[in-house]
């Protein structure tokens, strides 16, 4: 079972340092999170990092943001560009998100930020229709696996809201290959080991992190029984890749490089030990 490191875990750092830290911590590979920076999406540069640090890129994640310089403005277009990047890098997986049910806007009041519903200006409905009509054709022609990710609930106006289409374990299996995100399940109050059998063997890629009221905590630091989940994957002879996808604050970003690598190494050691408890 291979454990790789998502560069999104340290999105506030340069991509080269993410490779360096992952190599020092002993990870088996890298998931590249695409963003506005050209360093995250230029194949020649990324291949040089792979060679330098002896880490393959196993997966590429589509960008979160709509405005990516030099890339299309629509979500289907960004997904297709991500597929081209993954093909150029020899990655086997592209991670993409479910479509929102409605638009969102970020409002700041008294130094606090709130997500509020907003009108859909067409992008959301266009993406939903593309998934229904054209997604299967891209999957057939891509030569890699497109893995759609289950998404979290969000706190809006004091309530937890379901923001995405097809986001229950039963609905998301309409797509043949899935990214199972453990912290997102935590926002629903669900245990990954309980959900995994309900996905009918369609979880081909794992985003692993814990949940303690905040998302994307280190695997050993939260409420979710990830030890039980990884032991279940091992018993099930899971053949996919497991990507540790955390947040910079969970890894004490801003402290010394040695401290960050120490935390990454500790999380990786916990995961490997849990996977051996079959």
Q: Taking a C-beta distance cutoff of 8 angstroms, is the pair 81, 72 a contact?
A: yes
CA count, 13 A, side-chain hemisphere, 226: 30
Sign of the C-alpha dihedral computed for residues 133, 92, 201 and 188 taken in this order: negative
Q: Give the chain's mean pLDDT.
A: 93
CA 87 to chain centre: 18
Confidence at 66, pLDDT banded by 50, 70, 90? confident
**Mean pLDDT calculated for residue range 4-9:** 98
User: In this structure, what CATH number is given to the domain that contains residue 122?
Assistant: 3.20.20.150
Q: Which helix (H) or strand (E) element contains residue 149?
A: strand 145-149
Q: Taking a C-beta distance cutoff of 8 angstroms, is the pair 82, 34 a contact?
A: yes
pLDDT digits (tens, 9 = 90+) for 90-139: 999 999 999 998 755 556 666 666 555 555 555 788 999 999 999 999 99
Predicted local distance difference test score (pLDDT) of residue 106: 56
User: What is the total count of domains within the chain?
Assistant: 1
pLDDT digits (tens, 9 = 90+) for 226-270: 999 999 999 999 999 999 999 999 999 999 999 999 999 999 999
Predicted local distance difference test score (pLDDT) of residue 124: 85
Phi-psi region of 153 (alpha: psi -120 to 50; beta: other; left: phi over 0): beta
Task: Tell me the C-alpha to C-alpha distance, in Å, between residue 97 and each of 50, 55, 231, 263.
Answer: 26, 25, 27, 28
Q: Which helix (H) or strand (E) element contains residue 170?
A: helix 169-172
Q: Taking a C-beta distance cutoff of 8 angstroms, is the pair 102, 164 a contact?
A: no
* Beta bridge pairs of residue 116: 105
- Residues 219 and 237: their CA atoms lie apart, in Å, by 21
Q: Domain range for residue 140? A: 2-275
- Residues 80 and 91: their CA atoms lie apart, in Å, by 14
Hey, what are 21's tokens?
Answer: 């830290």
């Amino acid at each position: 079972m291979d454990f790789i490191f998502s560069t999104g875990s340290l999105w506030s750092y340069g991509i080269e340092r993410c490779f360096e830290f992952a190599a020092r911590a002993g990870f088996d590979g890298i998931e590249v999170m695409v963003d506005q920076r050209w360093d995250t999406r230029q194949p020649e540069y990324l291949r040089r990092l792979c060679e330098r640090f002896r880490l393959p890129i196993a997966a590429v994640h589509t960008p979160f943001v709509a405005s990516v310089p030099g890339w299309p403005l629509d979500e289907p277009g960004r997904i297709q560009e991500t597929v081209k990047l993954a093909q150029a890098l020899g990655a086997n997986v592209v991670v993409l998100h479910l479509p929102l049910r409605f638009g969102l806007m970020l409002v700041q009041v008294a130094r606090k930020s709130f997500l509020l519903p907003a009108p859909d200006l067409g992008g959301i409905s266009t993406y939903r229709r593309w998934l229904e009509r054209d997604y299967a054709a891209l999957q057939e022609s891509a030569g890699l696996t497109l893995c759609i990710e289950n998404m979290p609930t969000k706190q809006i106006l004091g309530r937890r809201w379901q923001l995405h289409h097809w986001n229950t374990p039963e609905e998301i299996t309409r797509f043949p290959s899935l990214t199972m995100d453990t912290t997102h399940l935590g926002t629903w109050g669900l245990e990954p080991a309980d959900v995994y059998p309900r996905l009918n063997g369609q979880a081909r890629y794992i985003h692993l992190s814990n949940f303690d009221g905040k998302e994307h905590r280190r695997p050993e630091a939260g409420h979710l029984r990830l030890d039980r989940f990884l032991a279940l994957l091992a018993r099930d002879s899971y053949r996919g890749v497991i990507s540790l996808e955390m947040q910079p604050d969970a890894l004490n970003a801003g402290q010394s490089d040695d401290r960050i690598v120490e935390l990454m190494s500790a999380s990786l050691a916990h995961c490997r030990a849990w996977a051996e408890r079959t």
